[in-house]
Amino acid sequence: MSAQTRDAIFQQAGSGLSAPEVARRYGVHEGTVRAIWRKPNKRERTRGLHRFTEEDRQRALELRAEGKTFIEIGLELGFERSTVRKHLAEK
């Protein structure tokens, strides 16, 4: 897969399209799309500087109510899916 295709798939992360839709669009497996979406974009995100705040939790709860997955929520907020799941399970 070319770097251009990878970048294009990564850019689709917050677009509202699901992984299966993006996979069909680019002719790749859904798992490939999810793997690309999980990899941090070093230009946009730096680990350790952004803490999961109460505002992040509220936004995550809203997105979850809209039917978004933990991966999609994490991509939008800038966290790993496991972090989102952990904070939504609390309280």
pLDDT digits (tens, 9 = 90+) for 20-45: 999 999 999 988 988 888 876 544 55
pLDDT digits (tens, 9 = 90+) for 41-75: 544 554 555 688 889 999 999 999 999 999 999 88
Give burial (CB, 10 Å; 0-12/13-18/19+) of 27.
exposed
- Written as six digits, the tokens of 64 are 């979850």
Residue 39, SS3 per DSSP = coil
Q: What is the pTM of this model?
A: 0.48
